[in-house]
Amino acid sequence: MPSLDRKNIAVIHCGAMHAQITDQDSLDEWLSSIWEIDILAEVHPFFVSDAVQTHYEPEWKQTMTIIRNNWEEYDGFVVYVPASEVIQCSIAASFILGRLGKPVIFTADPYAGVLTEKNLSLMSNLINGTLMAISEHAGIYTLYDGNVFSPFQLQNIGEHNRMKYIGEPVARIDFGLHIQSELPGRSSLAQPNENLVEDITELADLEVSEPDNTGLRSITATIPIDHIPTITYTVEQNEHPTISCAIGDHHILLPMTEAAFITKLSWVLMNMKDTADMETILLQVMQKNVMGELITEL
């Protein structure tokens, strides 16, 4: 007889999931009360933060450390973050953790914070995320509105944490999971980035200026790195998002979302801070499709 296949899934609470979840104990209690998810998988909760707004330090970094440290123990990971941060956080994880051999699903509840006896949209979202996390498709994905996306497909459009997406979802969830793109399968060889021996890679702290009357923004890194070239950019209003970027004296067009651009730049600057010819390396790496962030290849 076919057996009930229940995988082990880590659920990481990194902010603003439910007003009544304030620590590990309350998260344990809440998750253990959801029989519905138990039929899908054995879930193990990790509490990181109950903040409405979280940041790279310490919350996202702690989340990625949990994923890295518990990689062998779980078959997949579901991460809840505040809705306003889910895109940026999942993009950061893509660069920092690298190409993974298990599913890591980022999601959020746009109605988080509303105190209800049983937050159905939240629980339903958790079930959807778990379904993807137990699937045979590896990688980092973002769950939004019943669909599964690469984090690089999504853009915030401001109001009420609504997002728009580029292209088609990589998977659709209705009465089951339906894969719509070719996705990598599970692999024991693809582990969180091997560079993370001692610690999770940092992201450079960047300050982005307000746009001038042409829409031009400049970027300043607040880390002590020598020889950082001047970096400015505008967001082109095309059918697909495009960043028109000047690095030193060079000008390039990058087919990517603004969130992907900023996060990738943070990651690149931090990883190459001791490099002598920074301008050349920056130009090369930013134009290289490292994790699928360049939209023409979606």
Residues of this chain that bind another protein (CB under 8 A): 1-5, 33, 35-40, 120, 123-124, 127, 131, 134-135, 146, 172, 174-178
Query: Is 37 or 203 the residue whose CB approaches another protein more closely?
Result: 37
146 versus 167: smaller Cβ distance to another protein: 146
Q: C-beta of 132: minimal distance to another protein in Å? A: 10
Report the b/e string of 156-176 with b at 16+ CB within 10 A: beeeebebebbeebbbebeee
Query: Which C-beta is closer to another protein: that of 63 or that of 142?
Result: 142
Q: Tokens 């890591």 map to which residue? A: 104
Work out how close the CB of 268 gets to another protein at its nearest, in angstroms, rounded to a whole number: 36
What is the closest distance, in whole angstroms, from the C-beta atom of residue 155 to another protein in the complex? Answer: 19
Q: Nearest distance from residue 173's CB to another protein, in Å?
A: 8
Output b/e per residue, 11-20; b: 16+ Cβ within 10 A: bbbbbbbbee
Q: Which residue has the tokens 């290289």?
A: 288
Q: Which of 57, 56, 76, 54 is closest to 67 using CA atoms?
A: 76
- Minimum CB distance to another protein, residue 125 (Å): 10
Pairing verdict, β 41-49 and 7-14:
parallel
Q: How many CB atoms lie within 10 A of CB 114?
A: 12
Token pair belonging to 145: 């509105």
Query: Which of 105, 140, 146 has the alpha carbon at shortest distance from 9?
Result: 105
Toward another protein, which CB reaches closer, 98 or 139? 139
- Judged by beta carbon, residue 126 or residue 259, the one nearer another protein is 126
- Rounded to whole angstroms, the Cα distance separating 286 from 83 reads 27
Q: What count of Cα atoms within 13 Å lies in the side-chain half-sphere of residue 121? A: 15
Nearest CB to another protein, comparing residues 127 and 225 = 127
d(Cα 185, Cα 242) in Å, to the nearest integer?
A: 30
Whole-number minimum distance, CB 154 to another protein, in Å? 17
Name the residue nearer to another protein (CB basis): 111 or 196. 111
Cα 114 from Cα 18, distance rounded (Å): 7
- d(CA 80, CA 90) in angstroms, rounded, equals 10
Shortest distance, position 5 Cβ to another protein, whole Å = 7
